[in-house]
Amino acid sequence: MPKVLIAYPHEDMVSFSFHRSLQWLMSEYSENLIPDTITARAWGFGLVEARNELMRQFINFKEATHIWFIDTDMGFAPDTVTNLLQANKPVVGALCYGQNTVSPDGLSGYVTEPFAVAYDLIIDKQADSAHYQLKYDLDIESKSPQQVAATGTGCLLISREAADAVLQKYGDSWFNQLRYKHDTKLLAMSEDLSFCYRLTTASVPIYIHTGVRTNHMKRVWLS
């Protein structure tokens, strides 16, 4: 039977939606979880190293079949882990949303908009570069697993086989930030997209289950 290790980098505070969601999960669906949870403090390690440390603990915790990254500003349903497991994919995330800053609002704030955290990989062979862009054709209404080039780690289930594949190819640096060419500049890729790029080069497919919903606490300006 699958056993899932819960992993959440955190500082000293978590959102109420995360805390309450975790309570519901542990009380109603504990048969899918190892009782002990592992955590790493983002401010102590830095976010990249916090995520790497959680993966190292997972690799050494042989009883666990999966590691579930869930950020502490996320809210989720009690059956989230069960539904992600039932997708039977090596790496599968829930439907998560981020927030884009669109433009100044003229009042010292900003106009913002949400976006689904799903990406396509764009390879420019002529320029010898690759980068991610938002996947605009994600079928949110399908409520099923869909393959993507990348997603975030806000709510992401990773199998032991997927974690091992990256370990064998890159060592224990799953989330170390990669650099990519953009015009004449070298830019740092975020830690979650860097992990997804390593998965891709290790031949591990990535999915988003659009039937598994979350919320994501963000600050917005109302104007």
Residue 107 lies in a domain: no
Residue 184 lies in a domain: no
Residue 156 lies in a domain: yes
Tens-digit pLDDT profile for residues 20-79: 999 998 887 677 787 777 777 766 678 999 999 999 999 999 999 999 999 999 999 999
User: What's the CA gap between 132 and 124, in Å, rounded?
Assistant: 11
Q: The domain that contains 15 carries what CATH number?
A: 3.90.550.40
Residue 202 lies in a domain: yes
Structural domain for 46, as ranges: 4-96+138-178+191-216
Query: The pTM is what?
Result: 0.93
Tens-digit pLDDT profile for residues 166-210: 999 999 999 999 987 666 677 788 999 999 999 999 999 999 999
Domain count, the chain: 1
The angle formed by the CA atoms of residues 86, 39 and 196, to the nearest 5 degrees, is 55
